[in-house]
Amino acid sequence: MTNSDIEKWNTRYDIEREAWLERKPRRLLRDFAHLLPRRGIALDAASGVATNGLFLAQYGLRVIALDFSETALKLAMQRAQLSGMPVYAAVYDLSLPWFPDTYFDVILNFRFLERATFPVYRRALKAGGLIFFETFVKADQNISNPHYYLEPGELLKAFHDFKILHWQEDVRQDTTRAVAQLIAQKPSHFVQ
């Protein structure tokens, strides 16, 4: 993360404020909401305005929303305070992740890729905890910034020893970009 990245996203959230606030939670999360626990602690990584985190809070989870955009998190906190939802926010650089072991009941990671988070997410989930992960997959070898795209099968491989509740990797209908989706549960007797 660079200062220019932060400035770019802060400006984008400031200019596109209403469009971001009007977004619905990710469809993957809505479609599989029945899997969510009714209490516990959730991490909304790269949360933006925390639309997904607020959705989790409605289910009874306490949510920690992390993003490097202070502007996005201010909008998130305004929404959380207005609705009385237990959402807490912090400006955080996910390129240098650290979370306590076995702390979260749910981890969300949507439209963001930082491979350094994979082992940290694995350790940070409680036994029986869920990870919801959706991001772009490299479908074209000539894409710019290949670091921001998963290799085909990479996400499934990263969580291969979790219980896979949902897995899909295909081209989305509204774009030519391929997307990987994963919902996985950390086994009860998991050994790191």
Q: Give 69-89 pLDDT, tens digit per residue.
A: 888 888 888 888 888 999 999
* Class in CATH terms, 3-185: alpha beta
Cα 85 versus chain centre, distance: 18
Contact 13, 20 (CB under 8 A): yes
Domain ranges within the chain, ordered by starting residue: 3-185
The C-alpha atoms of residue 64 and residue 33 are separated, in whole angstroms, by 18
The 10s digit of each residue's pLDDT in 99-153 is 999 999 999 999 999 999 999 999 999 999 999 999 988 876 667 777 778 888 9
